Amino acid sequence: MNEILPRLRSAVPLVAHCVGAEDPEELIGDATLHAARIFHSAEAKGKKITPGNACFYAIQHTRSGRRSTGNTTADINIIHPHPLHLLLWLP
């Protein structure tokens, strides 16, 4: 993790966009957890990966909107639907 965190701290704020109340530190935390999961998965399968590869894929997950909590930006539309969609549900 000593090689991963500095890479994520420098790259994530430049490539991942914050949504809503997120801040860059939160995205760095998400990317760090993604990298840890990637390492754990590779270790469980008996494969070796480099810190650079783990960082690359962790950044890709974060850029695509995946968060460590499992929520996506699409969930917001389900909780708070567009006002025009509410008109369709009125009797």
How confident is the model over 50-73, as pLDDT tens digits? Answer: 999 999 999 998 888 777 776 555
Does the structure show a pLDDT above 50 at 23?
Answer: yes
Calculate the average pLDDT of the chain: 77
Average pLDDT for 24-41: 90
Decide: 39 and 56 in contact? Cβ < 8 Å.
Answer: no
pLDDT band at 22 (very low <50, low <70, confident <90, very high): confident
pTM over 0.85: no
Decide: 59 and 30 in contact? Cβ < 8 Å.
Answer: no
Q: For residues 65 and 11, which has the higher predicted lDDT (pLDDT)?
A: 11
Q: What pLDDT does 71 receive? A: 54
**Among 39, 13, 38, 9, which Cα is nearest to 24's?**
13
Q: Read off the tokens for 19.
A: 């949504």
